[in-house]
Structure 1
Amino acid sequence: MDTRWALLRRLADGEVHSGEALGRALGVSRAAVWKAVRGLADLGLEVEAVAGRGYRLAAPLELLDAGRITAALGPEARRRLARLEVLPEVDSTSRRLLAAAREGAPSGTVCLAERQTAGRGRRGRSWCSPFAASLCLSVLWRCDEGPGRLGGLSLAVGAAVAGALRAAAPVAVGLKWPNDLIAGGRKLGGILVELQGEAQGPTAVVVGIGINVRMPDGAGEAIDQPWTDLAREGAAPPRNALAAAVLDAVLPLLARFPGEGLAPWRPAWERLDALRGRRVVVHTADGPVQGVAEGVEADGALRLRTAAGLRRFHSGEVSLRGAP
């Protein structure tokens, strides 16, 4: 294990630990401990040197723990979970699982990371994920159907995750088509579904989920739209419990979706639709289209009432914003 990561696990309780004791516990010199302390600063973590006593984090930190997450799962999610990996750092949890899919990883493989260095959103956008400040989680699922049978999956996942968040924390979470989690009119999280496979199947599905939990103030500089997190909304549950709640919602959904489609989750999505009945702008390759959002079709397409009549848009081709 990387010394920096092992050191962080020792310091996560927020208590003071002497350099000598840390060195003994980690099996390294005090100079190596000091080097690892500086490495934690590179992750954006504030480590205080207490004169004559040792080191401590400026604030306690809850690290993700595979054992605690698995133990908190309900029976169905636990049965469908094949493997759960927690990493201190990765370029992208979804990219890691897409590679794992090509190597034969089974349905129910899950990857979480404390920090992503190249997290991704829709249409190539970057996803900001400072260390231990959010939930970065991806799930691999395999199905016999081709990609054409999986329309609306990101909406179903959004409805399920929003329901899990509402149950885990008293936050009024809404949804913005096609894949944003919203609170107070600001972005709380997002969902990215990526597919590998032939037109007629089988298909490997990787669902990436990002939720802002307790973001540092400076994180806003890297986010190109109004955002929030659970702490700012007044309710930040423990991240391990939150991860388990999300997996409890998503793993059973992925097992059911190929056979049932969006239908079971569409009513929940419609109830949580943050833009329904509002004037919006759909940005397309041919230019912006203004209208009133009227919910979604059975396949997840957006219904937009324009001056020229009703139009439908699919998520792969457009982006959506509220009208000024």
Structure 2
Amino acid sequence: MPITDKQKKLLALLANGEFHSGEELAEALGLSRSAIWKQLNGLTELGLHYTGISGRGYRLDKRLELLDQAKITDGLDDNSRASILLLEVHDQLDSTNSYLSQKLHHGDASGIVCFAEHQTAGKGRRGRDWVSPFGSNIYLSILWRFPQSGLGEIAGLSLAIGVAVTRALTHLQIEGIELKWPNDLYSQGKKLGGILIEVSGEASGPCSAVIGLGLNVHLPATEAEKITQPWTDLGRILGSKKISRNTLAATLLNHLIPVIADFEKTGIAAYLDEWRAVDGLKGKPACLYIGNQTIEGTVQGIDDKGLLLMERADGTVQAYASGEVSFHNATS
């Protein structure tokens, strides 16, 4: 269900996490108190929950910091600001990747950045849904064109993007982030985020990519019930320490944009050492699923092309370019 203008005004009032009387909300929105109650109930469809107490009013169960285009732009460094053609913040999209894929196919230029507060059809790998409650996490996509590179030459981009995200989180003093080949972010064995890159173009160039990032900042428990694997979010990692979503958004762009812009020159080689330093799979027994094939073994890191190295029971080591990795009985 699309978010309405009334709901947007209601959220702007409730975002501070304080109690607001029904009378106050009704007056501000020009609605009856019974209509306000209906608007509040509609918020649950966005993954938001509220508390109502007689004599005190209503408040959101979790304070919201809504994304603000001006605040994100103010947090960008000069290089990122110069490289970004357009930065958009949407209340709601089906998915940020789908939105920019449409722009890509319509011929839009490189350097468009898109955030959404809520996704109605967020995408993970292999068509899985990405749980996307309103105003809680980071849903980000970047459209980029690579005029000098073919599809094979940007094959390691997801690993470089993973490195850029770990750099950004380290800059914000968030430690202990691990990467799971080829495109997941983990903390203490639990999934924190994921990268989804959709490419198009020619084998010998040029090509284009829509680079998507989903990062859990605050994932409400009621929404997390839909997730079928161990998960975490930045709120659980940081404890009492708070993080601004707008600061986080700008910091991510300050680290993502230079990596993407330089990738045609550097390739994956510039990021191998950093990726290996935070490899969360190396040395672990795992299963690699490629179509209907299951390969069991021990992960031995990545090779210099970013391919996954698996050691089989007979001691042989083979490199794989694609597949889904499952470890510790978790569903990838």
TM-score scaled by structure 2? Answer: 0.89
The CA distance in 2 between the partners of 1:169 and 1:190, in whole Å, is 20
Cα deviation, 1:11-45, whole Å, max 9, x if unaligned, reads 11123334454455445565654443232232232
Cα deviation, 1:63-112, whole Å, max 9, x if unaligned, reads 11111111111111111111111122211110101011122322221111
What is the deviation of 1:149? Answer: 1.2
The aligned residue for residue 326 of structure 2 is: 321
Contact 1:281 1:323 in 2 (8 A): no
Contact 2:301 2:308 in 1 (8 A): yes
Q: Give the one of 238, 256, 264 matched to 1:250.
A: 256
Q: Secondary structure at the match of 2:248?
A: helix
1:62-73 mapped onto 2 (5 Å cutoff): 62-73=65-76
Aligned residues: 322
Q: Which runs of 5+ in 2 are unaligned?
A: none
Task: Check if 1:125 corresponds to 2:128.
Answer: yes
Contact 2:48 2:133 in 1 (8 A): no
Q: Which runs of 5+ in 1 are unaligned?
A: none
Cα deviation, 1:176-224, whole Å, max 9, x if unaligned, reads 1001101001111110110122333322211110111111112332112
The aligned residue for residue 297 of structure 2 is: 291
Contact 1:290 1:323 in 2 (8 A): no
Q: Secondary structure at the match of 1:141?
A: strand
Q: Give the one of 166, 171, 175 matched to 1:167.
A: 171
Deviates further, 40-49 or 203-212:
40-49
Q: Give the one of 154, 158, 161 matched to 1:154.
A: 158
Q: Give the one of 296, 300, 306 matched to 1:300.
A: 306
TM-score scaled by structure 1? Answer: 0.92
1:44-193 mapped onto 2 (5 Å cutoff): 44-51=47-54, 54-144=57-147, 145-193=149-197
Q: Secondary structure at the match of 1:263?
A: helix
Q: Give the one of 10, 14, 18 matched to 1:11.
A: 14
Task: Check if 1:312 corresponds to 2:319.
Answer: yes
Identity of aligned pairs, percent? 43
Deviates further, 18-27 or 268-277:
18-27
Contact 1:280 1:323 in 2 (8 A): yes
What is the deviation of 1:323? Answer: 5.8
What RMSD, in angstroms, separates the aligned Cα atoms of the two structures? 2.1
Q: Kindly provide the amino acid, as one letter, of the partner of residue 311 in structure 1.
A: Q
Q: Give the one of 214, 218, 222 matched to 2:226.
A: 222
Q: Kindly provide the amino acid, as one letter, of the partner of residue 252 in structure 2.
A: V
Instruction: Sort the Cα spacing of 1:176 and 1:59 in 2 relative to 1 into closer, same or farther, 3 A.
Output: closer
Deviates further, 261-270 or 271-280:
271-280
What is the deviation of 1:254? Answer: 0.9
The aligned residue for residue 46 of structure 2 is: 43
Deviates further, 14-23 or 293-302:
14-23
Q: Secondary structure at the match of 2:145?
A: strand
